[in-house]
Amino acid sequence: MRFRGNTQFASAVGVVLGLLCAVEAAKVNKHKPWIETTYHGIVTENDDKVLLDPPLIALDKDAPLRYAESFEVTLTDEGEICGFRIHGQNVPFEAVVLDKSTGEGVIRAKDKLDCELQKEHTFTIQAYDCGEGPDGANMKKSHKATVHIQVNDINEYSPVFKEKSYKATVIEGKKYDSILKVEAVDADCSFQFSQICNYEIVTPDVPFTVDKDGFIKNTEKLSYGKERMYKLTVTAYDCGKNRASEDVLVKISVKPTCKPSWQGFNKRIEYEPGTGSLALFPSMHLETCDEPITSIRADIDLETNHIGKGCDRDTYSEKSLHKLCGASSGTVELLPAPSSSANWTVGLPTDNGHDSDQVFEFNGTQAIKVPDGLVSTNLKEPFTLSVWMRHGPGAHEKETILCNSDKTEMNRHHYSLYVHNCRLILLLRQDPSEAENYKPAEFHWKLDQACDKEWHHYVLNVELPTVSLFVDGTTFEPFLVTEDYPLHTSKIETQLTIGACWQDNSGHDNDTESVSEPASGGNARMAQFFRGNLAGLMIRSGKLENKKVIDCLYTCKEGLDVQLPEEVASAVKVEFNPNQSSLTVEGDDIDAFDKVMQHISYLNSRQFPTPGIRHLRISTTVKCFNEESCVTVPDADGYVMVLQPEEPKISLSGIDHFARSAAEFESQEGVTLFPELRIVSTITREVEADTESEAAEGADDDPTVQETVVSEEIMHNLDTCEVSVVGDELDGEHEGLEVDMSQLQQHGLEMSSSNLGLVITGVNTMANYEQVLHLIRYKNWHTEALFDRKFKLVCSELNGRYISNDFKVEVNVIHTASPVDHANNAMVQPNFINPVHHASVDLSGHNLVNAHQASVVPSAATVVIVVCVSFLVFMIILGVFRIRAAHQSTMRDQETGKENEMDWDDSALTITVNPMETYEDQHSSGEEEEEEEESEDGEEEDDITSAESESSEDEEGAEPEDQQGASRQQQLEWDDSTLTY
C-alpha cells in the first residue's frame, strides 16, 4: 500500500513538472498574430463607429489553452494582442483593441465624415502582439488585411432647381405632350437622398400637370383670348421626402394660332410737317410660321388721290408753277383763279375742299368764254397745250375741254381738245394756204386714264406733222391720225370756249349736241359739254415744253422713300412708280426683306402740307419651293396722319396816313403809296415750359400750366399782292396806279391792272415783294377837287390759302396857292375858301368834283374877315395853351430839382394855320370813338387837306416860296400808324 501511494505521488509530481516546463516554454513568442484578409465596413455620416464584417479579431498561437479544466493558467504577454496599425495616407479612421487577451478590436472615425466629399475609404490594417524578447524586438505582426469602408448618407440637403425661372410659349388650341422640363438637383451623395422622386405644381386651378421627371404639359387646349400668359409655381421632393428649398416660377405664354402676317405694324403714323422723312415701319417683320420660303414680294401703296390733284402739290397758280419749273415765258393761263383782272372764271363752280388748289367743276351744263385777244386765233407752231383733268366714266357724246370755233354761220371748229369714248382727241385744222392737200388734222389716243375718275396731267407738244402726248410724265403715241384739207379762207371771227363748243343755231354741224345757254344771249348756244373736273389749262405758243419741265409739273411733293442699308442692297430689289406713291420690294431673304421694309419712309417737302389722312396698304405675295403661293399673307392697312401745320400770319405794316401836295400828285413820278411798307410772317407755336424757371418764380404759379405760346418769324414766299381802291373806281382819264415794269420783270413778277386797282402775281420772297410794292405810285392829273384817296393792300400765299391783313392807306391832297395872283404870301389865304365850303358838306366820297366853283365863292371881303377872325381866335387859344404848358413845366422842374429836361424845344415852332382847322379841332377834342368814326367817314381829311392854310411865312418872310413849300410838306408828313383814330 505504501508503494502504491508513492507511485501516485510520483505521477502527480511529474505532471506538475511537465506543466511548469510547458509554461516556461510558452514564454518564448514563436507565432504571429492572425487576422482576416479582407474586411467590409459601414459607417454613417453622423456616427464614428464602423460596423465591420467580419468583426475585427486577432488570434495568436502563443496564447495558452483557454479551457483547461483542472489547472489554473497564468497568461503571458506573448500571447496577447497589443494593437492594430492602419496603413495609408490621410486615413480618417483608427483601430482600437478592446480586449488584448481575446484580440477583439474596433475601427472608428477620427473626425466627422462627409459622404458628399468621399463615399468610400480603402486602407490596410495589421495586428501586432505583446511579445518581447530579451532585446525587446520580439513583437510579432500579422499580415496586412484590406479594409473597405462605405460612408452611409443622411438626408441633409434639399432639392434645388437649376434655373431661377422657366419660360415657354405655346400656340392656342393645341395639346402638347411636353411644353418644357423643370429640373432640380440634390447635393446628397446617396442615390436615395440625391434623387428627385417627385415634382408638384403648387399653383391651384391651372390647366397644366407635371410628371416625376419634371415635364410640364397642358391638360386642355389653351385659348389666347382667355389667357395670354400663365404663371405657375413648381416644387420638387427628393426620395427622402425633403422639399425644395425654394419653389420655381414657370411662365407659359399663349400665342394665337400662327397666321402668316406682318407683325409690329402701327396702323396710325403721325407726321409732323417740316420734320423731313419719317420711318413708316421701324419695328415691322414678316411672320411666315416657319414655312420654307423662296421669294417674297410686297407692294406698298400710299393712297393720295383725295388730296388736291392726286397728291400734295404746291397750290400756286399754274402760271407760277410753270415758271418755278423753268418753263419759258409766253404761257397763257385759261383757267385762272377769279380776280378783278381775270373775271371770266367768276361763277364757275370750284372744288373748295382741296386747300386752295384751284379746281373747276363742269357738270355738263357750264362753259365759259375766254376773252378775245387772250390767245391768238392762229396758234404759232410749235405750241404746247397742258391741262389737269379728272374724267369718267366715258360717254358716247363728245365732251369738249377746249374749243375754238366760228362765232357765226359756219360753226367750223378750228382747233379743239375733247374726250370721246375714253379717247383723247386733238383737232387742229390747218389755216388757209396755197397748197390744197391733205394734212394731219386729228390725233386720237386711247387712254384708260381718260375715264378712270382720277386726276391726270396731260401735256400736248404740237409740232406738225407730229404731236407728242405726255400723260403723268409718260409718253403715249397716237393710235390713229386722220388727215383733212385746210380751212377755207374766211373773215369770220372765232370764239374760244372751255367746257363746250360755241355754236350758232344757223350752223350746219350736225355732229354736235346742242344745249341752250341762257346767259349767252341771242341765238348763240353751247354744245358738246364736258362732265368732270379741269384745272391748270395752259397754252404756250412758239416753244415746246421739255421733259424736265413736264416731270416737274407732275411730280408730287409727298411720297414714299427708302434708304437701302448697304448690307442688304444686293439682296433686295426696290422699284418705284413715277410719282413715288407706291413701291415694290422683292427678295428671298426674310431678314434682309424685313430690314428694307423698316427703312421705308414717308416724306412731304411742302412747307405747309395739306393736313389729313393718307391711307397705306401693304400687299404681300410669298412663294415656296414649288413656286406656288404656299403662304397667304393678309394685306396690312394703316394710314399716315399729316398733322395741321403751323399756319403763318402775314402782317403788313407801315405809314397808313399821310399828305402830299397836289403838285406831287400831278408830277411825272406821282406819290409813293407804300414808302415804308413792311411784310412780316410769324407762326405761333406751343413749347414746353421750363420747369426750373417756373419753380424759381414761386410756388404760387399754376402747376397745371405745362406749355407756353411763343411767336417766331418765318420766311416763305408770296404769290399775290393786290392793291385795290377803296371807294370810287379810278378814273382812267386823269388818275392811275403805276409801277416800274423793269423791276417787276427783274424779279420775275407780273402785273395786271384795271380801274379797280392792280394785282402783282408770281411766286417770290417777301423781301422782293416789299421792294416792288415800294415802287407803286399813284398819279392824278386833275387834283383841284380831290381831297383824299384810300387804298387797300392784301398779300397772299399759296393761291389764297394764307392771306394777310387788310393794310389801308389814306393819302390827302394839300392844295397850294398860286404865287402869280398875289403880291405877297399873306394874300394866299383866300384860295382856301373852296375847301372851307366843303367842310360843311358830306366828305365821305373820294372825288369831290365841282365844275362851277366860282358860283359858290362868297365875296373876298367876307372871306378875309372870317379867315382873320378865325386865325386870331386860334392864335389866342394856342398862346394861352403854350403859356400854361410852360408854367407847368417850370413847376415840375422846380419840384424835381430840374432832373428832367423838356421833351422837346419848340422855340422855333412853325405853326401852319388852316381856317378849316378851327371847326375840326373843336370836334377833335371830343371822345376817341367819335374820332374813329370821323376817320372812317373821311371827315378828318379836311384837317389834312387844309392844313397848309397858313405856314411860317410871317416868321420867315425872307424864305423863298419853293423852300417854304418843301418845309410845309415835311411838316405835314407824319407817321400816325400807332394812333387810335
More confident call, 210 vs 958: 210
Taking residues 52-64, what's their average pLDDT?
79
Look at phi and psi of residue 209 and say left if phi exceeds 0, alpha if psi is from -120 to 50, else beta. Answer: beta
Read off the pLDDT of residues 145-188 as tens digits, 9 standing for 90 and up: 999 988 877 788 889 999 999 999 998 988 999 999 999 999 88
The values of phi and psi at residue 202, to 5°, are -80, -35
DSSP letter for each residue of 793-825: EEEEETTTTEE---EEEEEEEE----GGG-SSG
Quick one: cell of 492?
369770220
Q: Express each pLDDT in 459-495 by its tens digit.
A: 999 988 889 999 998 999 998 888 876 676 677 788 8
Do β-strands 474-476 and 466-471 pair in parallel, antiparallel, or remain unpaired? antiparallel
Whether 754 contacts 770, CB under 8 Å:
no
Q: Is 395 exposed, middle or buried (0-12, 13-18, 19+ CB in 10 A)?
A: middle
C-alpha cell at 661: 401836295
Query: How large a percentage of the chain has pLDDT more than 90?
Result: 32
pLDDT at 69: 39
The CA distance from 539 to 542, in Å, is: 10
Flag whether pLDDT at 114 surpasses 70: yes
Is 234 a residue whose pLDDT tops 50? yes
Angle value at C-alpha 52, between 48 and 56, nearest 5 degrees? 105
Instruction: Tell me the C-alpha distance between 615 and 34, whole Å.
Output: 104
Helix (H) or strand (E) holding 7: helix 2-26
Tell me which amino acid residue 103 is. G
Torsion angle, CA of 300/305/308/310, rounded to 10 degrees? Answer: 70
pLDDT classification of 953: cutoffs 50, 70, 90? very low
* 127: pLDDT strictly greater than 70: yes
Determine the pLDDT at residue 709. 76
Confidence of residue 885 (pLDDT cuts 50, 70, 90): low
In angstroms, the CA 525 to CA 514 distance is 7
Q: Which helix (H) or strand (E) holds 215?
A: strand 215-218
CA distances from 445 to 134, 534, 557, 760 (A): 143, 19, 29, 39
Q: In the prediction, which pLDDT does 137 show?
A: 59
Span 683-725, pLDDT tens digits: 987 776 554 444 444 444 454 545 677 888 999 999 999 999 9
Q: What angle do CA 235, 239, 244 make, to 5 degrees?
A: 25
Would you give the end-to-end CA distance of the chain in angstroms? 188
Average pLDDT, stretch 883-907?
47
CA distances from 163 to 185, 234, 236, 780 (A): 11, 12, 13, 99
So what's the pLDDT on residue 829? Answer: 37
Cell numbers placing 452: 378712270
3-state secondary structure of 2: helix
Task: Give backbone dihedrals phi and psi of 943, rounded to 5 degrees, phi first.
Answer: -55, -55
Instruction: Please say if the pLDDT value at position 766 is more than 90.
Output: yes
**Mean pLDDT of the region 864-871:** 73
CB count in 10 Å sphere of residue 135:
6
pLDDT at 706: 52
Say if CB 617 and CB 583 are below 8 A apart: no
How is residue 548 written as a grid cell?
424736265
Q: What does the angle CA 475 – CA 478 – CA 479 come to, to the nearest 5 degrees?
A: 130
Residue 492: per-residue pLDDT: 77
Dump pLDDT digits (tens) for 655-688: 999 999 999 999 989 999 999 999 999 998 777 6
- Kindly give, in sequence order, each residue whose CB lies less than 8 Å from that of residue 86, ignoring residues fewer than 6 positions away: 93, 94, 95, 123, 124, 125, 147
Q: Write the secondary structure of 640-657 as one string of H (helix), E (strand) and C (coil).
A: EEECCCCCCEEEEECCCE
State the average pLDDT for the chain.
77
CB atoms within 10 A of CB 503: 24
d(CA 300, CA 562): 12
Q: At residue 321, what are phi and psi to the nearest 5 degrees? A: -65, -35
Mean pLDDT of 895-905: 38
What grid cell was written down for 637? 392697312
Specify the pairing of strand 165-171 against strand 278-279: unpaired
pLDDT over 90 at 381, yes or no: no
Most confident of 272-286, 806-820, 913-927: 272-286
Residue type at position 489: T
Q: Per residue in 266-276, pLDDT tens?
A: 999 999 998 99
- Whether residue 639 is predicted with pLDDT greater than 60 in this model: the reply is yes
Q: What is the mean pLDDT of residues 114-121?
A: 81
Residue 821 has pLDDT above 60, yes or no: no
Among candidates 425, 407, 389, 380, which has minimal Cα distance to 416? 425
Instruction: Give pLDDT tens digits for 393-407.
Output: 877 889 999 998 888
Q: Is the pLDDT of residue 38 over 70?
A: yes
542: left (phi over 0), alpha (psi -120 to 50) or beta: left
What backbone phi and psi angles, to 5 degrees, belong to 80?
-95, 155
Mean pLDDT value of segment 501-521: 48
Q: Is the peptide bond before 336 cis (omega within 30 degrees of 0)?
A: no
**pLDDT bracket for residue 515 (50, 70, 90):** very low
- Cβ–Cβ < 8 Å for 673, 776: yes
| 770 and 679 Cβ atoms separated by less than 8 Å | yes
Instruction: Give me the pLDDT at residue 63, please.
Output: 65
For β-strands 657-661 and 807-814, DSSP reports them as parallel
- Percent composition of the chain: helix, strand, coil (DSSP 3-state, to 5): 20, 35, 45
Looking at residue 907, its pLDDT comes to: 37
Contacts of 228 (CB under 8 A, 6+ apart): 253, 254
- Whole-angstrom Cα Rg for the chain: 59
Q: Report percent pLDDT > 70 for the chain.
A: 72
The 3-class secondary structure across 61-117, one letter per residue, is CCCCCCCCCCCCCCCCHHHCEEEEEEECCCCCEEEEEEECCCCEEEEEECCCCCCCC
- Are the C-beta atoms of residues 497 and 534 closer than 8 Å to each other? no
Q: How far is CA 379 from CA 160, 376, 436, 439, in A?
A: 97, 6, 20, 16
Phi, psi of 570 (to 5 degrees): -85, -15
Q: Residue 18 contacts by C-beta under 8 Å, 6 or more apart in sequence?
A: none
Q: State the pLDDT at residue 502.
A: 86
Are 238 and 188 within 8 A, CB to CB? yes
